[in-house]
Amino acid sequence: MIKRGEQAPDFELFATPDQKISLSELADRNVVLVFYPADWSPVCSDELTIFNQAHKLFDKYDATVLGISVDSRWCHMSFAKDRNYHFPLLADFHPKGAVSKLFDVYDEVEGESKRAIILIDKNKKINWTYLSPTAINPGVDGILEALEKLTNEKS
C-alpha cells in the first residue's frame, strides 16, 4: 500500500458514462479514496452507505469522497442510482485496476481492488491509509479522526 508522506499519483477515471474526474482537479480539497472490491456486494454496499450518510461530515473538512472499484462506469451508474449515493464512484475498469495498482491496493488473485481508505491532503500528499480485511466494513470513524487530526495540524 502507498505510504504516508508520499506524493499521490495523479489519475483520471470515469465518474459517469461521459465524464471523467482527475485527482489534479481537486487541488483545493482533501480527498478520501475509498477503494472497494465490487458494486452490489453486501459489505461494499454497507460501507458506501455509511460514507454516503456521513457526507456532510466530510464537507466540514473540505474533503471529497471518491469510491473506486474495477466495475464499469455503467455498473457504477446503476449502483449509485439504486443506492442514492451522493459522491462519485470511479471506474478503474480499463486498463483493469490501473489506479488501484498505482496506490498498491489491487488484489491480483481476485482481480479487484482491496478494501482500503486513503486520505490525500490538499498538497496531494498521502496523509493516512487503512487496509481493511475484505469481509470487514471499516466504517468512517478512522478517516474522520484522520481528517480532524489533519485539520488541527494545519491550524
Question: What pLDDT digit, counting tens, does each position of 21-31 carry?
Answer: 999 999 899 99
Write the pLDDT tens digit of every residue in 106-130. 999 999 999 999 999 999 999 999 9
Q: How would residue 34 be classed by pLDDT, with cut points 50, 70 and 90?
A: very high
Domain coverage including residue 126: 12-154
Domain annotation covers residue 60: yes
Residue 145 has pLDDT above 80, yes or no: yes
Domain annotation covers residue 32: yes
- How much helix, strand and coil, in percent to the nearest 5, is found in the chain? 35, 25, 40
pLDDT at 155: 64
Domain annotation covers residue 96: yes
CATH code (residue 109): 3.40.30.10
Domain annotation covers residue 87: yes
Question: Half-sphere exposure of residue 77, counting CA atoms within 13 Å on the CB side?
Answer: 10
Residue 153 has pLDDT above 90, yes or no: no
Domain annotation covers residue 3: no
- Choose, from 13, 31, 33, 44, the residue flagged as catalytic: 44
pLDDT at 91: 98
75 is a catalytic site residue: no
Domain annotation covers residue 51: yes
Biggest CA pair distance of the chain: 43
Domain annotation covers residue 5: no
How many distinct structural domains can be found in the chain? 1
How far is the C-alpha of 104 from the C-alpha of 98, rounded, in Å? 10
Domain annotation covers residue 2: no
With CA atoms as reference, report the closest residue to 88 among 9, 31, 138, 153.
Answer: 31
Cell of 47: 460501507
Q: What percent of the chain has pLDDT over 90?
A: 97
Residue 154 has pLDDT above 80, yes or no: no
Cis peptide before 95 (omega within 30 of 0): yes
Q: What is the 3-state secondary structure of 44-94?
A: HHHHHHHHHHCHHHHHHCCEEEEEEECCCHHHHHHHHHHHCCCCCEEECCC
